[in-house]
Structure 1
Amino acid sequence: MHPSAPPTMLILIYSAHQTLVKNIFFANLLILYRQMEVLDVGVACLRLFVQSNWTGPSLPVTLPIPCLECLAGKEEEVTTCLTLDGESCCSVMRHPLLLLLARALLSNCAEQLSLIPSSKWWWQRCLFVHQQVLDEFSPTIHTALKNLLKEALEKEPVVQDPRSWILFHLEAAQICLYYSEVVHSKKHVESALDLANMKLTLVGALGKRTRFQEKQLAQLMVKVSVSRNDDFIPSVDTKHLPKDLSLDDEVRLNQIKFANEDDGKFPALLPLEQAVVLATLIQTQKSQPKDGLANEELLPYISCILSRPQSWSLQMSALFLRCRLDSSGSRTVERAMMQAQTLVDSIDAAMPSPPDRFSHLFVSHLPPRWEVEAELADLFIHLGAINSALDIYLRLEKWEEVISCYTLLKLRHKAAEVIRQELEKKETVKMWCLLGDATDDVSCYEKAWELSKHKSGRAQRHWAQYHFARKEYAESIPHFTKSLSINSLQVTLWLRLGFACLDTENWELCATAYRRYCVLDSENFEAWNNLAKAYVKLGQKPRAWRALQEAVKCNFENWRVWDNILAVGMDCGEFSEVRGLNCYCYGNNSYHHLLDLKEKHVDTEVLQILVQAVTRDILDSQGVPAGRLRPKLLTLFGRLTSQVTNNSKVWWLYSQLTASQDEKTHSILQLTVQYLQKAQRSAVQDAHWVQDTANCKNVMDISISLVDACLELCKNCSSSNEALKVLSSAKLSLKGVISRLKQEQTDPSSGRVDEDLSPNLTVLEGKLEQVLLEINLLQSPT
């Protein structure tokens, strides 16, 4: 049976219920027609469940199915059976029995129906549907889905025709994206594009976005090219598809008006090809940070899907995504609210038929119906209609949002009253946790934990977040760890546990938490950065270096990350990487890029290590001498000193690097003197330099180096006049330094210079005598 074939579900369940009751687990599953019966019933149950909770129209509250009559009124027990890894199902989920029945049948089929390859495909779909109705990620389902995808990829395609293989990759991408596994999902999206012979390219084109815009500006558009054997596109009756509302704004145009009429137009696409575009859109969205510029990259893909409606589920999903993007714009938020209302109405509309809605549903990224309604409530919040949002949240039993609404209305006590009323009906772990949130009563979390018999990750999660919100990080850590031991796929909890450990300096657990978080979400540069810090504290600097390399991939423009990568790279002996990082900097070096991000950035410690490594030709972490980096380091200092002109340390290091070159040509010696002169001038520019002992020693050290460089330069001067000019300059600077030191650092009572400075001062005076002697020799007649 093909995975997307639409069986007549109620008829199948009616006709097969006797077989189901008698033979569900005991039938001779080697008989093909019995295999088909069991699989068809399982698929029918799953499709009915999806219709009830995703696509609509609504099913009767009580289904007229004889084989289910014995389970009437036992929804609570059924929902309990669907709880996994301590995570319960959404409380407003409809007809949970259908999902339980689908799980029982399709899991059995996946294990034993070797003659029907698509049985595992349907089991994969069933598991993913189950995951989407749970409150949090389930490690059990996640592992099972990973194994199913791996098994399918290791073997030949589940179904041989290319269309089904495209479907498989799109569904696999959707599963990976749901768990934020963007690296894996990218491979599936690319495979789907290749199999569909499609190419999508974001390009710029001149156009106008507003009604009164006079100048054509560059606008983003997506260029779609597709190659297929048959260009026939079946016509689709669009009157029952969700309506695409136009933007009615006095300033902004509904669509970009391109200067070239051919720009912004898209070829006619089959529904499956539209699904490929949608997958590319979600992949792009999940792979980049959330900001206004990123949203602009997504809109062209949405426009492509909406330009020629083909599928109810794809149209719903594209409009839903646009609602979320529009919600952040003051000129589009009203359209988003009205559009969300039309989507809610479309689910309950009588038309189109359920099979038409079901088409391509498993590649549409469409959320359950309660999330669509919740999006409408969120938009009411954006528009200030708190009471309207509250009504929806109460109906959906989204108690966290109910608490937020009552807080906004300054009626927080009402939230506690509503939750207590629910608890009087039935005590649940979730309601006790929410009562704790509403009343700030820790005993409620303890009650929830006991009620779950120490099996609820939610109880420990709420307990931990209570302490975390109050910056009681040490108290939150045990509860975070307990919750994560029950369910390790709680992404946010790993992040918060890492921060709590960072604050309390629990470095081992901090590294574990951030490492686990980065496996689940590899796009957070702060997490990578904090992981690197934990590794540094643990003395594992090579691992810190690798973590920082990941951080800079996530945020290339953050100067603090580059600053950290410089420091850690030096400690690890990654001189060439700190200089080069070619895969990230495209031939420039990290310090150059740091200057691009933060003008006049100076890290003299890093610069000193680099200069020492180059001048001493130290081996880096790969055993390669660092001396080869001298030309690039000289270029770096040239750029740095053009921006930072008054840093004595930088000029001194520049002089040392210049002087370390093998060839002692006249120009190199002259540059060395110039850099030392600038170092000395920068060191004495503060009138109070002579009052600080450390500054005095620094000035004397630079002055000594300056005299030595001047004397060496004189030996290479082409004329005595040039040499006299060099020495005269050195004499003046030396006399000025010696005079200031004696004036400020001499004890009036003893007449002696500070004993810490006396040795260097003696050397300086000796250097001055040497300079005077050389001057006399040059001035005396030959």
Structure 2
Amino acid sequence: MGVDDNFMEESSWETGLALWQSPPEAIGFQWEFVREVVEGRFSEALRRLKHKVVERILEGSVSSFEEDGDELEHCFLASVVLLRMFQRDNICGPSLTEDELAGLEANTRFEPKDDELDVDGEIFGRSVRHTNLLLAIRRVLVENERKLSQRFWSATLWSARAGRTHQDVLTGPSPTLKSEVQGAYTSALKSSETRKNPILGGLVHIEMALASNSFLDSSTNEKHLKFAMDTLHTKIELSGALGVRTKWQKEAKANLVAQVLQEGEEIERNLSIPTQCKRPRNIPLEDTDVLGFTKLSTDQKPDNERTTPTVMDHFLLSAKAESVAANLPSGQLTTEEIRPYLNRVLDGCEESTPPLVLGKVLLFRTRGELGKGRYAERSMKQVEELVDYYKQGNPIDDCGRLIGLEASGYPAMWKLQKEFAILLGTIGLVKAASEIFEGLGLWDEVIDCQRLMGNEQRARVLIEKRLDEEGERPWLLAAMGEVTRDEKWYVKAWEVSKGRYAKAMRLLGRLLISKNENQRAVSALEDALKINFLYPDAWFLLAHAAQKCGDIEKYASSLTTAVQLDGSNAEAWNNLGSAQLQLGKPQAAVTALQQAAKLRRESWRVWENLLLASIAANAVRQMIQAMDALQEIRGREGVSAEGISAAIVEIERLGESGEDDDGRQTADLARRLLNVLGRASALVSTEPAVWNAYARLHELGGDHGMVLENRKKEMRSVLARASQNYASDLQLFEIVARAAMNLGYSAIREGSEDAKLSALLQVNSIVTASETNFADTDYFRDLKKVADQLSATEDS
């Protein structure tokens, strides 16, 4: 199982081990060892090492290894093999054979304590097997990383992979493991070996990107995906192509497609997958209408597009799909953006496709098809196929599954089984789903299933039975709290865990909010978040409770953390904008609400909040954007007189500055506002603010004729709204007087006799009607002056 001979001949055995590749001919102890493990012969590889070294690792006694000599090397090599054995047994399959287990169990002298692998209140999946291996691996590769890295450059890489595997079998993200894993990957990327080998460098960047996704770190994910593409001289981008999705579709429609483009000099060397390694089956869609894929009708491609993606291209495509899924809100638009990356892998599925990448892509496709009736049968069969794939094959023929395991992002088997159970639940097979959840020890999901079946009491019986058998475990006590809705169980779970089981406090906080005990909820949630802050939903709940308590500072800071962890939560962004506005930070509110609007473009409430914040911040461009969206969504109800007035004031201010940049900006903003006014006038022809804004925009352009026309419309609109009531209502009179004065001055500037006469008649009629009640007001006196000026200019 090798890449080209020169590639491995020029590389160190550590590079071969890191890439899980070996040359056709292995010369020397290390290369022979690499070849054995890469070919799946783990037991043989371990027997090649010193028996006492392996025994001491499995006993958990590693502190006494010498820093030089064979012992340290054998310790390092044995730990890598044990890590791959644990991964094969719990992630990709096939499970460890009896012979492999016999060799391990003969040497194992310890079992980890129940909470020894728990981190930051996150517990490992109850169905994870051979946890003693993971603990032994951690004691060597993670706890002794510094000692090992002084001699082996790849020690930091394997330390990162061990930490990543630990995270993969936990129930949630761990801040401690985030720091550990990202730190180790950063060190590995600084190695000269990683820098000089583009395949290795690209692979490690992809691993770092996917690991960062596990820890809700979207910025690091995007950064290292870009680094990976740069390192591999590859660019992946979306384009358009015509195609059909149904069997009877005659006219091809535009579809998104993913293109793999060569950027710069091509990297000839690449990873290879053993030809005998089987891949999971792609279940076809059996439907009379829908194809189940996109059949493109055009074959036009850029000159630098790769016809056949390489192994590394497949890793990049899968990682890109995961990045989109992690950083955008779930929904049909996100599914459509992910689809092109999946299609590119599935279209080019051949010997260059890593088995686990194909499995991950098929899993992504299934997630996108959830809830769609015609896809239900395929979805169920596809996930069932992936679960069965784990059990199929043998360690030798299917050793290629481990190539790029960390770069595939393939889930642990218990998480895949969880997805299968969720799928069964969505199609109505709730009992079957509940049985799988019970086997996995996922009690929250068991409770949900039993509630759906109207049999919540059975969930309580099951949990009580487990408590009798296993004793007071925090997760079981918290599950009792979920069944009984009694807070004492959450408190007990917290106490039994010695204040480490953060989930108990998160659940208690949610219960207290439902009881409107918000101050206590704040305390419970803060206790949980001190242990593990990587839960955006808990920050959102904390923000809600803080707002109810009147603590706006905490409300805003909690929402800030929530959106930093999960930038796809539109409601959190919207609430953050509202909080910033309450704190007197309108520009920060605009920034937050723009993010909310990107994620929830159809929500008029978000756009209305953005308009209010923009007015407060004098952000005219955002005012216009919000008004345009509101009119499109709400029609006549979306026309905002306040927004139009604020926008024109700000445009006038920019126009008066005299700066060249402001002048260009004024012209652009005026054009955009005219578009908004055009739609507004068509929707509500009697809104005075629309005609007032039109007139003022034309004033900026010096078109006095158009100014006068719009002042006339403004006057008619004001009178239509005020009727005859302005003669007795001071507030209405002031509005009418302002419009009449605007009309009079516009007529004087326009200069024609007809315009001045018409304006004079209008002003005089208002003067006559209002003189009895408002003759002693400033507005009346100013209006009388305008009438006098009109008379004077007409006489002259």
Is TM > 0.5 for Structure 1 vs Structure 2? yes
CA shift for structure 1 position 534: 2.0
Equivalent position to 1:349, from 392, 414, 420: 392
Equivalent position to 2:498, from 453, 458, 463: 453
Contact 1:323/1:336 (8 A) holds in 2: yes
* Paired-residue identity, %: 23
Per the alignment, residue 89 of structure 1 pairs with: 124
SS at match of 1:213: coil
Per the alignment, residue 323 of structure 2 pairs with: 283
Contact 1:704/1:767 (8 A) holds in 2: yes
1:331 partner amino acid: R
CA shift for structure 1 position 637: 4.6
Aligned: 1:395 with 2:395: no
Distance in 1 (CA, whole Å) between partners of 2:142 and 2:699 is: 75
CA shift for structure 1 position 540: 3.2
Equivalent position to 1:325, from 354, 357, 368: 368
Distance in 1 (CA, whole Å) between partners of 2:451 and 2:46 is: 47
Aligned: 1:363 with 2:398: no
Judging changes above 3 Å, is the alpha-carbon distance between structure 1 residues 544 and 59 closer, same or farther for their aligned structure 2 residues? same
Aligned: 1:378 with 2:422: yes
Per the alignment, residue 176 of structure 1 pairs with: 212
Per the alignment, residue 734 of structure 2 pairs with: 697
CA shift for structure 1 position 408: 0.9
Contact 2:327/2:566 (8 A) holds in 1: no
Per the alignment, residue 115 of structure 1 pairs with: 151
Judging changes above 3 Å, is the alpha-carbon distance between structure 1 residues 573 and 704 closer, same or farther for their aligned structure 2 residues? closer
Per the alignment, residue 200 of structure 2 pairs with: 164
Cα offsets for 1:82-107 (capped at 9, x unmatched): 11112221111111100000000112
Distance in 2 (CA, whole Å) between partners of 1:618 and 1:148 is: 55
Judging changes above 3 Å, is the alpha-carbon distance between structure 1 residues 96 and 624 closer, same or farther for their aligned structure 2 residues? farther
Distance in 2 (CA, whole Å) between partners of 1:262 and 1:713 is: 59
1:308 partner amino acid: C
CA shift for structure 1 position 635: 3.0
Judging changes above 3 Å, is the alpha-carbon distance between structure 1 residues 658 and 469 closer, same or farther for their aligned structure 2 residues? same
In the comparison of the two structures, how many residue pairs are matched? 740
2:758 partner amino acid: S
SS at match of 2:243: strand
Per the alignment, residue 485 of structure 1 pairs with: 530
Contact 1:171/1:363 (8 A) holds in 2: yes
Name stretches of at least 5 consecutive residues in structure 1 with no aligned partner.
580-587, 718-722, 743-752
Equivalent position to 2:178, from 128, 142, 145: 142
Aligned: 1:30 with 2:68: yes
Distance in 2 (CA, whole Å) between partners of 1:4 and 1:713 is: 80
SS at match of 1:432: helix
Judging changes above 3 Å, is the alpha-carbon distance between structure 1 residues 412 and 653 closer, same or farther for their aligned structure 2 residues? same
Equivalent position to 1:3, from 10, 18, 40: 18
Judging changes above 3 Å, is the alpha-carbon distance between structure 1 residues 423 and 713 closer, same or farther for their aligned structure 2 residues? same
Per the alignment, residue 475 of structure 2 pairs with: 430
Distance in 2 (CA, whole Å) between partners of 1:411 and 1:479 is: 30
Bigger shift: residues 266-275 or 590-599: 590-599
Contact 1:525/1:555 (8 A) holds in 2: yes
Cα offsets for 1:537-591 (capped at 9, x unmatched): 223344334444554565567665555445444544555x658xxxxxxxx9665
Q: Where in structure 2 are the equivalents of 1:759-770 lying within 5 Å?
A: 760-761=779-780, 764=783, 767-768=786-787
Q: With CA pairs under 8 Å and 6+ residues apart, which has the higher RCO, 1 or 2?
A: 2
Per the alignment, residue 746 of structure 1 pairs with: none
SS at match of 1:331: helix
Per the alignment, residue 464 of structure 1 pairs with: 509
Per the alignment, residue 762 of structure 2 pairs with: 733
Distance in 1 (CA, whole Å) between partners of 2:151 and 2:455 is: 61
Name stretches of at least 5 consecutive residues in structure 2 with no aligned partner.
1-13, 21-33
Q: Where in structure 2 are the equivalents of 1:554-593 lying within 5 Å?
A: 554=599, 561=606, 563-574=608-619, 578=622
Aligned: 1:502 with 2:547: yes
Distance in 1 (CA, whole Å) between partners of 2:168 and 2:776 is: 75
Q: Where in structure 2 are the equivalents of 1:401-420 lying within 5 Å?
A: 401-420=445-464
Contact 2:578/2:609 (8 A) holds in 1: no
Distance in 1 (CA, whole Å) between partners of 2:775 and 2:122 is: 71
Equivalent position to 1:314, from 351, 354, 357: 357
CA shift for structure 1 position 484: 0.3
Aligned: 1:128 with 2:173: no
Aligned: 1:521 with 2:566: yes
Aligned: 1:18 with 2:52: yes
2:763 partner amino acid: L
Aligned: 1:54 with 2:91: yes
Q: Where in structure 2 are the equivalents of 1:62-73 lying within 5 Å?
A: 63-65=101-103, 71=109
Aligned: 1:252 with 2:290: yes
1:3 partner amino acid: A
Distance in 1 (CA, whole Å) between partners of 2:257 and 2:133 is: 43
TM-score w.r.t. the length of structure 2 is 0.84
Judging changes above 3 Å, is the alpha-carbon distance between structure 1 residues 111 and 694 closer, same or farther for their aligned structure 2 residues? same
CA shift for structure 1 position 639: 2.9
Contact 1:241/1:312 (8 A) holds in 2: yes
Distance in 1 (CA, whole Å) between partners of 2:461 and 2:607 is: 52
Distance in 2 (CA, whole Å) between partners of 1:192 and 1:559 is: 40
Per the alignment, residue 709 of structure 2 pairs with: 674
Contact 1:592/1:636 (8 A) holds in 2: no
Equivalent position to 1:535, from 580, 589, 600: 580
Over aligned residue pairs, what C-alpha RMSD do you find?
3.5
Distance in 2 (CA, whole Å) between partners of 1:689 and 1:403 is: 65
Judging changes above 3 Å, is the alpha-carbon distance between structure 1 residues 534 and 619 closer, same or farther for their aligned structure 2 residues? farther
Cα offsets for 1:222-279 (capped at 9, x unmatched): 3334574659996854683221111111111143333346889983344333212211
Distance in 2 (CA, whole Å) between partners of 1:96 and 1:672 is: 80
